[in-house]
């Protein structure tokens, strides 16, 4: 067995690498890394994996021969690489994950993924390709808990950001490839690490910091938010990759109903972790169209920043929060994956590891 893991220098991909390491499979893994050469790629890989607690011999034993240097937008050199012939499983985590309107989203997430899939299928004896997607590609207007479905989100105009549109589009394109052993794993909102908090990445956690500081947002106090930690997500993805047989070709990697957290419970846990009073007595639910009025309050409480960026952030995250989605995960649990820990269980470590990081730095992870 030889595994190809893409995106290991990113958040979810590195968590998946840590899950492979815990099973002693790093030596059987090839890594697709964007770098000028294998030496630089190996350094990038080691630096990111160290953030997830992979240290010592496991890091040192990683070799340049395990690194395939390529950009998802230019895969010609990989397509000709002899190492592709040994690949049996692919865990494709690489993506341009951003809520901005980056012009490279489609060429990276769709065209690049399809080029890699065709190259691997042509040159390797591929047994399974796990495509990591986003549960939010289902689009608005659905009943919660949202079920796994190939039909949701097909209306191009329903997507809140180009990223979710691109992720759904590439799933459909991969599914259409003849004899392609596709399994789609749609992750819900990945926030922090259940042990390391926000040390690996503060992505998205700043939204909670912002909402609690403003004491206003688009969700109601009793609304549930489907959030999973990166380490649990990585373990779930590797389980889907390695299990000999699966009952379905589409899964939600999500907290589901049991492990989702109410906003009010997150407020209480956040307040306890930061030694502050809960905002619940002062909290106001705000309509999406009224978010513009919060920009001056943001500057007053959190410091000056690009007003257009803050308004876009408030609007985008407010729109997703307004959906009030929980993603059904019964298929995943039936495959033997343990339930995700709720964010309330590890939010204190997220607070501790992120409170000293300026808001502008935290936001950079989500607006590339």
What residue segments make up the domains of the chain, in order of their start? Answer: 3-191+226-257+328-334, 210-218+261-325+342-363
- pLDDT score of 76: 67
Does 145 sit behind a cis peptide bond, omega within 30 degrees of 0 on the bond before it? yes
- pLDDT score of 214: 86
Q: Dihedral, CA atoms, 318, 319, 323, 324, nearest 10 degrees? A: -10
Q: Which residue has the tokens 């929980």?
A: 326
- pLDDT score of 77: 63
Percentages helix, strand, coil for the chain, rounded to the nearest 5? 50, 15, 35
- pLDDT score of 161: 81
- Cβ atoms < 10 Å from Cβ of 12: 26
pTM value is: 0.92
CATH class held by domain 3-191+226-257+328-334: alpha beta
- pLDDT score of 46: 93
Angle, helix 205-214 to helix 343-354, in steps of 10 degrees:
90
Token readout for 56 is: 């010592």
CA distance 132 to 184: 6
CA distance 43 to 49: 10
- pLDDT score of 258: 92
CA distance 105 to 204: 19
- pLDDT score of 315: 78
Distances (CA, A) of 232 to 16, 227, 229, 325, 341: 9, 11, 6, 20, 8
For the chain (length 368 residues), average pLDDT per consecutive 10? 94 96 93 89 92 87 90 70 88 86 87 92 93 93 92 78 90 96 97 95 87 88 94 98 97 96 94 92 86 79 72 78 91 98 96 85 72
Strand (E) or helix (H) holding 131 = strand 128-134
- pLDDT score of 177: 95
Q: Which residue has the tokens 């979810």?
A: 12
- pLDDT score of 368: 63
CA distance 200 to 190: 12
């Amino acid at each position: 067995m030889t595994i190809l893991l893409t995106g290991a220098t990113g958040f979810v991909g590195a968590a998946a690498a840590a899950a492979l390491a815990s099973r002693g499979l790093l030596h059987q893994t090839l890594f697709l890394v964007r770098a000028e050469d294998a030496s630089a790629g190996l350094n990038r890989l080691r630096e990111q994996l160290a953030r997830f607690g992979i240290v010592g011999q496991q890091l040192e034993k990683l070799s340049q021969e395990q690194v395939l240097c390529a950009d998802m937008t230019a895969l010609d050199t990989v397509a000709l690489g002899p190492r592709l012939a040994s690949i049996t499983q692919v865990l494709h985590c690489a993506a341009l994950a951003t809520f901005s309107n980056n012009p490279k989203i489609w060429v990276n997430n769709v065209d690049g993924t399809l080029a890699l899939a065709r190259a691997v299928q042509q040159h390797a004896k591929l047994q399974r390709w796990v495509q990591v997607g986003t549960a939010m590609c289902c689009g608005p207007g659905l009943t919660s808990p949202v079920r796994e479905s190939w039909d949701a989100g097909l209306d191009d105009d329903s997507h809140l950001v180009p990223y979710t549109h691109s992720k759904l589009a590439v799933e459909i394109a991969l599914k259409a490839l003849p004899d392609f052993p596709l399994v789609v794993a749609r992750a819900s909102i990945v926030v922090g690490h259940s042990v390391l908090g926000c040390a690996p990445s503060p992505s998205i956690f700043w939204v909670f910091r912002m909402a609690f500081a403003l004491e206003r947002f688009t969700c109601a106090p009793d609304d549930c938010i489907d959030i999973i930690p990166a380490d649990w997500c990585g373990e779930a993805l590797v389980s889907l990759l390695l299990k000999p047989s699966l009952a379905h070709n589409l899964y939600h990697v999500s907290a589901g109903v049991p492990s989702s957290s109410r906003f009010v419970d997150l407020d209480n846990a956040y307040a306890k972790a930061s030694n502050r009073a809960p905002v619940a007595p002062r909290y106001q639910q705000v309509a999406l169209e009224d978010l513009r009025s919060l920009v001056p309050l943001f500057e007053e409480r959190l410091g000056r920043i690009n007003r257009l960026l803050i308004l876009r952030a408030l609007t985008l995250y407010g729109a997703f929060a307004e959906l009030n989605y929980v993603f059904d995960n019964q298929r995943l649990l039936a495959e033997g994956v343990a339930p995700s820990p709720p964010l309330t269980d590890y939010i204190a470590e997220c607070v501790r590891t992120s409170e000293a990081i300026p808001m502008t730095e935290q936001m950079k992870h989500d607006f590339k």
